[in-house]
Structure 1
Amino acid sequence: MRVLVASAPLIGHVFPLLPLALALRDAGHEVLVATAADGLGAARSGLPVRDVAPRFDFGRIARGVLLRHPLIARAELTGTAGTRGAGLLFGQVNDELADGMVALAEEWSPDLVLHEPFAVAGALAAARVGVPAVRHENSLFDGRELVMVTTDRLTDALRRHRVTAVPPPAAAIAVAPPSLVAQDGWPMRYDSYAGDGELPDWLREPGPRPRVLVSRSTVAGPGSAGPMPAVVAAAHRVDAEFVLVRPDRRLSRSALPPNVRTVDWIPLRAALSASAALVHHGGAGSVLAALVAGVPQLATVGAGDRRYNATLVGARGAGIAAPARGITASSLTRLVTDAGLAAAAREVGREIAEMPPPAEVVSRLESLC
């Protein structure tokens, strides 16, 4: 079976698709990843990757969309646009991916297209060549709604490729633990490719004080430092060790409190196994990574889906939802001392562990072809 894996051109979108893609390869199937720009980092997994939009520029697209839709842009920046903002932005993203994605599907002749909700161009390509498409969730939004609002923006691409409409998927794969949010589809244990970073020995075991990892978005742009500046400002008043993962240049060159250290790219999941908590920018991948590890988290309320994601974490009781500027010594102390947060995080971690791993989903995909 030939499987084309379609992703938006962002690391945070393509890496969660790779565990299933690798399971398919290990089961003897031929797998090709179709993406562009930053998403080409998927090649580090050893899977073949094809660039379907060589001139893709996410920043240019985002600026253009936000300037043309100022009211939705304002809501998007405060995290209140819901899927409206995502539909506008990724509608344009997919319009630029569509021609290359369809051309690749026509050339490579897949038997199945596996795509994430933000990569509807994959479903369009599947429809064009007449093969099943499967939606693989990689966010906490409703994937059905994301596909619908994104497809609404693909009128020109559908016309160019003589596709009347994108049909419903042959199946969907849900990765969110049900106690956090319900998703449509076959359940599958969340995982994400860890990249090629090395885990230093000192991060493999717990330290003398609770260790808190602090990460930021993989997408560059305003506010990309995420919660790091606020954590650094409060850290000296907290009885914990803080580790900044991939801090920006300004922070990495500044004088840091004695209980703050920095590291480059590391396999986050492995590091979390010896850590007490995670502070992050509110991205779905970070939310799920902390839940998989069963550690409490502080998810910052921000742009795009980050307010929604952080609110889910807070409502589940597995962490704290707070704006980056609202991070204080008190909230960080609560993060590492509140037994209720830790217990709820462990509960969700056990729930995720009971979901089928990617290898067990392979046979269900094989049944579609």
Structure 2
Amino acid sequence: MRVLITGFPQPTHIYPLVPYAQALQNAGHEVCVACPGGVEDLITSAGLTAVTTGRAEEVDVDTWAAMEAPDLDEMDRLAEELGFHNAADRDHWEVFYQFFVFATRFYIPRKPRKDIEELVDFARAWKPDLVLWESWFPAGAVAARACGAAHARVVIGPDYGMWSAERFAERQRRAGAASLENPYPSTVARLANRYGFDVDDELLNGQRTIDPLTPELRLTTGPSDIPVRWIPYNGGMAKPSWLHGRPERPRLAFTVGVSTRAFDQGEWRTPKIFEAVSGLDVEVVATLNSDQLVGIDRIPGNVRTVDYLPLSQLLPTCSAVISHGSSGSLWASIAANIPQLITDTGDRHRLDLDNAENKTTAARAQADNAEEKVTERAPDSWISSKFVVDRGAGLRLDHQTQSVEEMRAQIAEVLDGPSYREGAAALHREWLSKPSPADIVPDLEKLAAER
């Protein structure tokens, strides 16, 4: 069969799709990964066929603002209307509204985008039997319906789309009427309506959902549709010689993802973490580029900085990891069977797109108005840190409230404590018990055949 795979064109969204594409290709199916321009090298380097729709464009702050930057007053008003008074619901809502809906609107704005039109045109011309679309990129579902293909949604993190549907439905039951509009379906409708069909649950949630998450991370109450094992993929490179053998002392990985590379100079967690690890008898490998190291006066002697290194190469050589708690880092660490320290703060999730460009860590720290600061909290950090702590597989680090000595003590505790290794091993066994991407290929073949 022919399989079209598509997603939001950023490494953190495309990389999780690669194992499914490779599994289908290895099973003898014809696979194309098609999405707006800019990530074709990531796709082809994985041995896959890339189809580029549109071209990569530089997006400045003014362009972001024009693409319906989140209205924080409206976000707060809707939160009150929905009854989001506890911290958990409020955190989920702010990530949903500012990140998930904004990402959806980025590729489904009020004025149609040529690259999305070209994606639908390609689907209609190539006529796939099956479309797999990443959960932050519902344009893929529209392309599937426009060409008549079966389609499945691939969840790559907390399921904010389904979570919002459940919360708005709950509010409707309480109020007895649909008095509030969920911004996610109405955004997808802009594109669906252009091709002559309405938005329904199947379009928003897929005919099936490929779901690698545990119940704690999923956020939704329903059962997992097609459970699967998250296979970490971070790209490839030649393994450096210093990774060939075992380290002479415990090795600690430090990774904070790609977001601060893209939008900031300086990295707010790093100064304190460097101070904390400098007093430990460990070898630290920090995957930080030059922009993330802006403002760092001294790199401790036991810290090696590398611009890029696949976590699938680094983590198996480590005794523990410090990360920002993204799904990619979380599952790569679980796959490597190591304890985790996840950085998280009590910050609210507040974006400041108008003032985000060129804001250094120092500038943020000196801001007089806290509402104008770019948040020092990663979107999923609190979910991941709670999960790891509750499962006994690690601890939470808060650079805002903890002293260097407190952070150092927690890092040492995780490195030395057998209970954290046991907790990590339990998560690893649970991860191994799930079917691999190759194991679910028959489910996907059946879906295509039925449709």
TM-score normalized by the length of structure 1: 0.89
Secondary structure of 1:251's counterpart equals coil
Secondary structure of 1:359's counterpart equals coil
Q: Is the 8 A contact 1:188 1:355 kept in 2?
A: yes
Q: Which residue of 1 aligns with 2:290?
A: 248
Higher mean Cα deviation, 61-70 or 112-121? 61-70
Q: Which residue of 2 aligns with 1:189?
A: 229
Pair 1:250–1:281, CA change in 2 (3 A): closer
| CA-CA distance at 1:198 after TM superposition | 2.6
Higher mean Cα deviation, 163-172 or 350-359? 163-172
Aligned residue pairs: how many? 369
Q: Which residue of 2 aligns with 1:26?
A: 26
1:314 matched to 2:393? The reply is: no
| CA-CA distance at 1:92 after TM superposition | 1.1
Return the alpha-carbon distance in structure 2 between the equivalents of residues 181 and 78 of structure 1: 14
The 5 Å alignment of 1:141-220 reads 141-142=159-160, 144-145=162-163, 150-168=184-202, 169-178=206-215, 181=218, 184-219=224-259, 220=262
1:298 matched to 2:341? The reply is: yes
List alignment gaps of at least 5 residues for structure 1.
none
Q: Is the 8 A contact 2:252 2:321 kept in 1?
A: yes
Return the alpha-carbon distance in structure 2 between the equivalents of residues 264 and 83 of structure 1: 31
The 5 Å alignment of 1:27-176 reads 27-40=27-40, 41-57=42-58, 60=61, 62-64=64-66, 67-71=69-73, 81-95=94-108, 96=113, 98-142=116-160, 144-145=162-163, 150-168=184-202, 169-176=206-213
Return the alpha-carbon distance in structure 2 between the equivalents of residues 276 and 47 of structure 1: 33
Pair 1:186–1:79, CA change in 2 (3 A): closer
Structure 1 residues 211-254: Cα deviation after superposition (integer angstroms, max 9, x where no partner): 11111222311377363333212221122111011333462885
Q: Is the 8 A contact 1:78 1:303 kept in 2?
A: no
Q: Which residue of 2 aligns with 1:344?
A: 423
Return the alpha-carbon distance in structure 2 between the equivalents of residues 322 and 79 of structure 1: 20
| CA-CA distance at 1:355 after TM superposition | 1.0
Return the alpha-carbon distance in structure 1 between the equivalents of residues 96 and 215 of structure 2: 20
Code of the residue aligned with 1:288 in structure 2: it is W
Code of the residue aligned with 1:257 in structure 2: it is P
| CA-CA distance at 1:78 after TM superposition | 7.8
Higher mean Cα deviation, 208-217 or 40-49? 40-49
| CA-CA distance at 1:366 after TM superposition | 0.7
Q: Which residue of 1 aligns with 2:16?
A: 16
Secondary structure of 1:273's counterpart equals helix
Higher mean Cα deviation, 62-71 or 112-121? 62-71
Structure 1 residues 292-329: Cα deviation after superposition (integer angstroms, max 9, x where no partner): 11111112221323332333222222222233444621
| CA-CA distance at 1:67 after TM superposition | 4.5
Pair 1:32–1:319, CA change in 2 (3 A): same
Secondary structure of 2:439's counterpart equals helix
Return the alpha-carbon distance in structure 1 between the equivalents of residues 64 and 423 of structure 2: 36
1:273 matched to 2:325? The reply is: no
Q: Is the 8 A contact 2:343 2:397 kept in 1?
A: yes
Q: Which residue of 2 aligns with 1:261?
A: 304
Structure 1 residues 1-38: Cα deviation after superposition (integer angstroms, max 9, x where no partner): 11111110110111011011011111111111122355
Q: Is the 8 A contact 2:243 2:317 kept in 1?
A: yes
Return the alpha-carbon distance in structure 1 between the equivalents of residues 32 and 234 of structure 2: 19
Secondary structure of 2:263's counterpart equals coil
Q: Which residue of 1 aligns with 2:271?
A: 229
Return the alpha-carbon distance in structure 1 between the equivalents of residues 60 and 394 of structure 2: 31
Q: Is the 8 A contact 1:7 1:119 kept in 2?
A: yes
Q: Is the 8 A contact 2:95 2:379 kept in 1?
A: yes
Return the alpha-carbon distance in structure 1 between the equivalents of residues 103 and 280 of structure 2: 40
Code of the residue aligned with 1:98 in structure 2: it is I
Q: Is the 8 A contact 1:187 1:356 kept in 2?
A: yes
Return the alpha-carbon distance in structure 2 between the equivalents of residues 314 and 306 of structure 1: 12
**Cα RMSD (Å) of the superposition?**
3.0
Q: 2:413 aligns with which of 323, 334, 342?
A: 334
Higher mean Cα deviation, 66-75 or 13-22? 66-75
List alignment gaps of at least 5 residues for structure 2.
80-89, 166-181, 345-376
Pair 1:73–1:203, CA change in 2 (3 A): farther
Q: Is the 8 A contact 2:4 2:132 kept in 1?
A: yes
| CA-CA distance at 1:55 after TM superposition | 4.4
Code of the residue aligned with 1:90 in structure 2: it is A
Q: Is the 8 A contact 1:114 1:122 kept in 2?
A: yes
| CA-CA distance at 1:330 after TM superposition | 1.8
Pair 1:140–1:221, CA change in 2 (3 A): same
Which structure has the bigger radius of gyration? Answer: 2
Runs ≥4 residues deviating over 6 A: 72-75, 77-80
Higher mean Cα deviation, 87-96 or 23-32? 87-96
Q: Which residue of 1 aligns with 2:358?
A: none
Higher mean Cα deviation, 107-116 or 158-167? 158-167
Q: Is the 8 A contact 1:204 1:271 kept in 2?
A: no
